[in-house]
Amino acid sequence: MNGTVIPATGQEPTVANVLLEDGRIVDIGTNVRPHGNAVEIDASGMYLMPGMIDSHVHMAMNGGVESSTSVETTDAYAVLRAARDMARTLGAGFTTVRDLGGRNGMEFALRDAIRDGVVPGPRLLLAGSLISMTTSGPLMYPGMYYVADGCDEVRRAARTQLARGADVVKVFATGAAFCEGEDPRWTQLDEDEIRVAVQEAHKQGKPAAAHAEGVEGIRNAVVAGIDTIEHGDFLCEDDETIELMRSRGTILTPTMLLYDTVLQHLDDEAIPAFVRQNCEWIAPINRRSVQTARDAGIPIALGTDAGPPYHHHGGNARELALLASAGLTNEEVLESATRVAARAVGKADELGTLEVGKCADVLVLGGNPLDDLDVLIEPASFQWILLGGRIVGGTAAERARTLHWLTTA
Ligand SMILES: [Zn+2]
């Protein structure tokens, strides 16, 4: 296919032909010609960029106002609904999605079914159960937690998730704004406990992610060697921790959409009052931390935390606008959703840029997202969505399918 290639490598966009073969990008250039029986996609006048990556969602949650996993009574129902939600997320241009806390392992079945072509969806990367100290969280989110206290239990917890096939180990370094009875500034797992989980993940070449809102917990996780700080709300409060993250290259995943979505529905009394209060309180601090991190040169990855109240799967791209509103340039926003997110999920060699050798996850867009991020937020502008070289969505793809149907009917 031909078009303006936005490689997301930091290099300038260029008009070129892109050759895909066996799910990979095999050539990019002006003199690239397709082989004899290749399928050609004419994308002249269009823009090509890497498929987007959401590095933080919860398929176990359906965007319901209760902010709980207990609403859907069976894992079987939850996984069918999650399959629909992942199809929607893929249709929104997200070709890779990382789940950071599932439900009794139903997410592994969905990951494997999508991989095998049983149902449509993005490439899934999973944490399995999130690892937490004894706390009130499991009462609100049954099926999502693995409770572990002390280094030995955390080691067993991490190994258990990895043995199930987890792609990342997720730990709780602080309390959570969405857990009743917790304060997001309190620390949870201690530095030595987090370090054990990080070691187990790294032994398998996989990343470790920490839920960390308060600054003391952020520091514990960073010192313990964590790869990504999820939320990082109170980071702006401590210059030393900011410098620590910068010097170590620790990635921040600010999940701005998590708080902003609740802010849009503050008058809905069906959302637990403590959730609404926490979001109102934390959103501006979270925003300040994004600005501070960006100015300090801390890498920022896109992660939305989709699943909590009104935070429906498929609306993930709205995070792009929030990151831009916090001071990231359009180019930085695009890279947070591609190259940086690929690093965050431990797949920098495979995903996140349009380069020879990478997976053929490509978005073909009607407009230039570097001029206007709305191109990525408005589903109609996706002409073609390719996942591993297969056409999986886009308006032009739909049209082509209809035409094919009309001519063969
Ligand atoms: Zn989360």
CA of 39 from ligand 1 middle (Å) equals 40
Rounded to 5 degrees, φ, ψ at 132 are: -135, 150
Q: Which residue has the tokens 């290749």?
A: 38
Q: What is the largest CA-CA distance in the chain?
A: 67
- Which pLDDT belongs to residue 406? 66
Q: Which residue has the tokens 């917790």?
A: 182
Q: Are strands 251-253 and 228-231 parallel, antiparallel or unpaired?
A: parallel
Q: What is the pLDDT of residues 82-139, one digit of tens each?
A: 999 999 999 999 999 999 999 999 999 999 999 999 999 999 999 999 999 999 999 9
Residue 327 DSSP label: T
Comparing CA positions, the residue from 394, 316, 313, 308 lying closest to residue 84 is 313
CA of 382 from ligand 1 middle (Å) equals 27
CA of 305 from ligand 1 middle (Å) equals 5
Q: How far is CA 95 from the centre of its chain?
A: 10
Express as a percent the part of the chain with pLDDT over 90: 90
CA of 131 from ligand 1 middle (Å) equals 12
User: How is 270-301 classified by DSSP, letter by letter?
Assistant: TS-HHHHHHHHHHHHHHHHHHHHHHHHT--B-
CA of 217 from ligand 1 middle (Å) equals 16
Give the pTM. 0.97
Q: What is the pLDDT of residues 231-282, one digit of tens each?
A: 999 999 999 999 999 999 999 999 999 999 999 999 999 999 999 999 999 9
